[in-house]
Amino acid sequence: MSNSQIFTIGETIFDILIKNGQPVAGRPGGAMLNSAVSLGRLRLPVSLISEVGLDHAGNEVCKFLGENGIGCKYLYRYSNGKTAISLAFLDENEEAQYDFYKIYPDKRLAIKFPAPGKNDFLLFGSFFAIAPEIRSKVSAFVNAACQKGSLIVYDPNIRNPHAHELDKLMLYIDENISMADIVRGSMDDFKLIFQLTDPEKIYERISALGCKNLICTDASQPVRLMTDKFNIEVPVPETHLLSTVGAGDSFNAGLLYGLFKMNLARQDLSSLKLHEWETLLEIGITFGTTVCESYDNYISREFAAKLHN
């Protein structure tokens, strides 16, 4: 599908990683940006739909996106606010706890959205996908992609700082799931959102909303796939762990890379064979584990070059 486009829509954040009380790295982040960077480094046709301030951090983000081959046509630059910042505190297991600092303008996402098509891919998720201030715009775009037949991947990716808001926002999460062809989430996500830790129960919840393909990741534990035909686990290899920040985002990038390279569309998912699903999961795992071996949130240029060649 040479004319296919990949769209990612989500918040853009400047991440500062802190270990033992000291900053160890700072770089553009945000779940969908992270995935887009990995895909851009693989020279896939990817665009990010997001927003950043007209400030130094925003300028760094735009420069970085351009350097990584990501279309910025749908990036809203605002002056009455600041680019969002996150502090990611790494514990002894290199797991991150987040504090977020956001000063957004009243006017949000003031852009002309793209028109997704049947052969296109859309990745969306995180709090951006349920934030009341922009919900109508995000929902309208995702629904348009759904109606046109784009292949849609939803990653809830909800963090603890937003846990107190979930009750009033659960309807939005359910709507997002209902528009998705694949839901990929961590066990931590599903425990926080649904208070469920049994993958079978999680699949019941998600499939009842109309999404028949669930991928559960759980740190170093095997990745679980559940569809209306298959229920399998794929092991995660041991790795030299530096940071888990961006691991799930990189898994998503690997999943989209596999879908794109295998020329798969929405209508193909129901007939995928077991070995094809296993291949998609293995690509996602490879992307995720390689990112865990660095403080970056995305695959390295060297890793991308090996795949591209």
Q: What are the φ and ψ backbone dihedral angles of 155, each rounded to 5 degrees?
A: -120, 105
Name the phi and psi angles at 200, rounded to 5: -65, -40
Residue 51, classed as helix, strand or coil, is strand
Of 125, 159, 28, nearest to 85 (Cα)?
28
Q: Is residue 1 part of a domain?
A: no
DSSP 258: H
Position 309 pLDDT exceeds 80: no
Looking at per-residue confidence, does 164 or 73 come out higher? 73
**What is the rounded CA–CA span in Å between residue 17 and residue 95?**
11
Domain range for 89:
6-308
Predicted pLDDT at 143: 98
| 42-117-120 Cα angle (round to 5) | 25
- Domain membership flag for residue 37: yes
E strand or H helix at 268, and its extent?
none
76-109 pLDDT, tens per residue?
999 999 999 999 898 988 888 889 899 999 999 9
Cα separation, 187 vs 93, whole angstroms: 17
Q: Are 282 and 261 in contact (CB under 8 A)?
A: no
pLDDT of residue 175: 98
- Cα 182–chain centre separation: 12
Where do we find the tokens 């795949």? 307
Domain count, the chain: 1
Q: How far is CA 166 from CA 27, 47, 74, 103, 131, in A?
A: 28, 29, 28, 21, 11
Distance CA 201, CA 267 (A): 26
Q: Are 121 and 157 in contact (CB under 8 A)?
A: no
Give the strand pairing for 121-125 and 151-155: parallel
Burial class (CB in 10 A: 0-12, 13-18, 19+), 267: exposed
Q: State yes or no: pLDDT of 110 exceeds 80.
A: yes
CA-to-CA distance for 234 and 252, rounded, in angstroms?
15
Are the C-beta atoms of residues 121 and 150 closer than 8 Å to each other?
A: yes
Q: Does 220 have pLDDT greater than 80?
A: yes
| Contact of 302 with 257, CB cutoff 8 Å | no
CATH code of 156's domain: 3.40.1190.20
Q: Among all chains, which residue has been given the structure tokens 């970085």?
A: 64
Burial class (CB in 10 A: 0-12, 13-18, 19+), 275: exposed
Average pLDDT, the chain: 95
pLDDT at residue 1 in the model: 54
Task: Tell me which amino acid residue 173 is.
Answer: I
pLDDT of the residue at 103: 95
Distance in Å from the first CA to the final CA of the chain: 19
Collapse the DSSP code of 42 into the 3-class scheme (helix H, G, I; strand E, B; otherwise coil) and give the result. Answer: coil
Q: What is the predicted pLDDT for the residue at 2?
A: 60
State the residue for tokens 């290199």: 94
- Tens of pLDDT, residue by residue over 118-167, are 999 999 999 999 999 999 999 999 999 999 999 999 999 987 777 788 88
Q: What is the pLDDT of residue 98?
A: 86
pLDDT for residue 185 is more than 90: yes
* Cα distances (Å, whole numbers) of residue 222 to 130, 156, 206: 29, 19, 20
> The tokens of 10 are what?
């989500």
